[in-house]
Structure 1
Amino acid sequence: MTTIREIYHDGFDLYEPAWQSLLQTAGLTSDDPVTRTFGLFDNDQLVGTVGHLGPIIKQVAILSDYQGGAAFNELLSYMMNYLAEQQIFHYFVYTTPTHRAAFEHLGFSLIAQTDGVVLLEQGLGNFERYLQRLKAKLHPGPTAAIVMNANPFTLGHQFLIQQAAQENQQVLVLVVATEASLFTYQERLALVQAGTRVLTNVTIASTENYLVSAATFPTYFLKERAPLKVAAVQARLDATIFKHYIQALNINKRYVGEEPESPVTQIYNTTMQATFGTEIQLIIKPRQRNGTEIISASKVRQAIQAGDLTKLQTLVPPSTAHYIQAHLTDLQHRREDFQ
């Protein structure tokens, strides 16, 4: 008889070697961040595992002798019940095309698929409803789009939106909702809104879990630590989602800034251009500079840690500078993973 229990893989757990071996056999990595990991045991033998990061189910692996349905269903049912106990009722699976049918058999719906990866969802809410909420915010007619993390909102972000607003009838700015940044989503959203308030043809909304998220593009948040081959695969999925679904909102252009400093963002821009083809025009704008220095959110975060308020004035709009100054001590004491 099989049982499921949590695995504490902190380097000391008895089952960690077996867990790592199980993931490697399935072509998965043990370095992929998770909130919780559970193991399926037959007596004392680890025969399957499943993890999650917030609403994203991941690291599903089952010993070959136990594959065939029962172990998979037991693991996934346990995880979905566990997420419900955590008040998470809408969840995602990022997996390979070979496992798509197994998840669809459990009621998951396809969001997008490339040659290498598949993104599915299940639960309250879905992508079509998300699109309808976005559509209700927009006027009829062609729309330009910008997707930004804005961690935090800089003069560079502001300039990109201003350029798009001057060149288009309306602009939809989608702020990344994933909480993997120094500034929280609500802070980033508020700073984008404050920095674009005078632009009457700009609409601000959330990406929710559908663009540049921990579900579609987890390596985006690792930046220089990210394996570039993995980033390329995830970037293609993210671009495919934008192409096949956001285009339904009559979006014909997407604006991005050129990226000379981040290899992952460079890959993202290149992948979008290849994926969009002639269906969506990708417009790459030169980055704003402070003298000879490129303005970037990472330089703002460095100035925050240094307490250099004078430097901040040259990198961010007054609304962002005012917020940082008012919350400087709190920002300096937050996690430093995002510097």
Structure 2
Amino acid sequence: MELREVLLSLPSDRRPVEQFLQQQGLRLEEDVEYTVIAVEGEKIVGTGSLSGKVLKCIAVESSLQGQGVASRILSELVQEAFRRGRDHLFLFTRPENEKLFTPLGFTPVERMEKEIVLLENRPNGFVHYLVSLREHRVEKGVSGSAVVNCNPFTLGHRYLLEYAASHVSTLHVFVVEEDRSVFPTEVRYRLVQEGTRDIKNLILHRGGPYIISSATFPSYFLKEASEGTRLYGRFDATIFGKRICPVLNISRRFVGEEPYCPVTSLYNQCLREILPQYGVQVEVIPRLEKDGRAVSASTVRKLLIEERWEEVKALVPETTFEFLQSREAEPILDRLKKKPDSRH
């Protein structure tokens, strides 16, 4: 048996991998960037892929399970991830397959029984994250939460956070940390920080790898809703409600109404389904509107591409507008014009 890298850009390489995964009840997800196959002769007997920090689409022919094939595939994927400078890795699998990966250094983060389990290669990674949050716990009053991406931070985001903060004693705001947006993570975090500095009961957090990330909710970063979107959305909501909310004494989550993006709309549905099971009320806030249209980051990005600065100015806080006109923003705007279909 040998391992081979396949070039998914070639239909002749991609098709056999898709067919093998279909036979195993899986699908080749569109965001994979590196794939290997295990072959005997010319027959595929196993495969696995890497996407960012996530190992996925791992499958081995049933007759060869327990014979070290998965171990060899996983080892190759881990080494490739390390070569790319990624050392904190995650993988999704079915609960019945968890035992295949725990001997290889992966420990469970969370599971939904009979559906899915997320593992990571740091024994206490999630525990350390929760400990870092605990120092921001507020015992008195009602603690609420919001999770935002802000690509970039708009008056719509500001309206949501201002409304939420006025309805709770403490508002915990998590900025999505996954660097898959045109505006880099640190820029998005800073724009939220500067644009909400006057909201005194707001505590700002980096979302880390456990809140709307490629690990907990990979479908969020794809252009269209896929078969796994609802499953991943429910899983992300479960981690938030079951593990994160108790640490920060959170009993409410605020989300913006989503008239445009089907993935975010479906995610909101998952939050409304899952979070009440953990004592967390979900409140959907109608979008701020200007001239009869919801204020959105996607609209701002479109206006930036078209260099319609006066219209941009009407949709973003002054701090965001100042950044957009700075030299620091120039390479970001150049990237935006080259990649106009960016999501979130």
Common topology (TM > 0.5) = yes
Q: Cα–Cα, structure 1 residues 127 and 338, in superposed 2: closer, same or farther, change >3 Å?
A: same
Q: What does residue 192 of structure 1 align with?
A: 192
Tell me the secondary structure at the aligned position of residue 233 of structure 1: helix
CA distance in 2, matches of 1:168, 1:195: 19
The correspondence of residues 155-304 of structure 1 with structure 2, limited to 5 A, is 155-223=155-223, 225-227=224-226, 229-249=227-247, 250-277=249-276, 279-304=279-304
Tell me the secondary structure at the aligned position of residue 66 of structure 2: coil
Choose the corresponding residue for 1:88, options 86, 89, 92: 86
Give the counterpart letter for 1:313 in structure 2: K
Q: What does residue 7 of structure 1 align with?
A: 6
Q: What does residue 116 of structure 2 align with?
A: 117
Give the counterpart letter for 2:228 in structure 1: V
Give the counterpart letter for 2:250 in structure 1: I
**Deviation, structure 1 residue 106:** 2.7
Give the counterpart letter for 2:253 in structure 1: R
Q: Are the aligned partners of 2:225 and 2:262 in contact in 1 as well (CA < 8 Å)?
A: no
**TM-superposition CA deviations, 1:284-313 (whole Å, max 9, x none):** 111111131111111111111111111111
**Deviation, structure 1 residue 125:** 5.2
CA distance in 1, matches of 2:336, 2:271: 34
Q: Which moved more, 1:95-104 or 1:270-279?
A: 95-104
Q: Are the aligned partners of 1:138 and 1:203 in contact in 2 as well (CA < 8 Å)?
A: no
CA distance in 1, matches of 2:102, 2:256: 37
CA distance in 2, matches of 1:31, 1:55: 14
Q: Are the aligned partners of 2:152 and 2:188 in contact in 1 as well (CA < 8 Å)?
A: yes
Q: Are the aligned partners of 1:174 and 1:205 in contact in 2 as well (CA < 8 Å)?
A: yes
Q: Are the aligned partners of 1:255 and 1:283 in contact in 2 as well (CA < 8 Å)?
A: yes
Q: Which moved more, 1:100-109 or 1:144-153?
A: 100-109
**Deviation, structure 1 residue 20:** 2.0
CA distance in 2, matches of 1:186, 1:294: 26
**TM-superposition CA deviations, 1:12-65 (whole Å, max 9, x none):** 55x433222212212222342112112223344332111111210011122333
Q: Are the aligned partners of 2:94 and 2:117 in contact in 1 as well (CA < 8 Å)?
A: yes
Choose the corresponding residue for 2:50, options 22, 40, 52: 52
**Deviation, structure 1 residue 211:** 1.3
Q: What does residue 67 of structure 1 align with?
A: 65
Q: Are the aligned partners of 1:232 and 1:267 in contact in 2 as well (CA < 8 Å)?
A: yes
Tell me the secondary structure at the aligned position of residue 299 of structure 2: helix
**Deviation, structure 1 residue 103:** 2.1
Tell me the secondary structure at the aligned position of residue 178 of structure 1: coil
CA distance in 2, matches of 1:253, 1:277: 9
Tell me the secondary structure at the aligned position of residue 152 of structure 1: coil
Q: What does residue 310 of structure 2 align with?
A: 310
Q: Aligned residue pairs: how many?
A: 335
Q: Are the aligned partners of 1:309 and 1:325 in contact in 2 as well (CA < 8 Å)?
A: no
Identity of aligned residues (%): 32
Tell me the secondary structure at the aligned position of residue 89 of structure 1: coil
Any stretches of 5+ residues in structure 1 without a counterpart?
none
Choose the corresponding residue for 1:38, options 36, 39, 47: 36
Give the counterpart letter for 1:292 in structure 2: G
- TM-score by structure 1 length? 0.91
Q: Which moved more, 1:87-96 or 1:97-106?
A: 97-106
CA distance in 1, matches of 2:29, 2:119: 22
The correspondence of residues 13-28 of structure 1 with structure 2, limited to 5 A, is 15-28=13-26
- TM-score by structure 2 length? 0.90
Tell me the secondary structure at the aligned position of residue 193 of structure 2: helix
Q: Are the aligned partners of 2:148 and 2:175 in contact in 1 as well (CA < 8 Å)?
A: yes
Give the counterpart letter for 1:79 in structure 2: L
CA distance in 1, matches of 2:325, 2:137: 34
**Deviation, structure 1 residue 128:** 1.1
Tell me the secondary structure at the aligned position of residue 46 of structure 1: strand
- Aligned-residue Cα RMSD (Å) equals 2.0
Give the counterpart letter for 1:187 in structure 2: V
Q: Cα–Cα, structure 1 residues 29 and 336, in superposed 2: closer, same or farther, change >3 Å?
A: farther
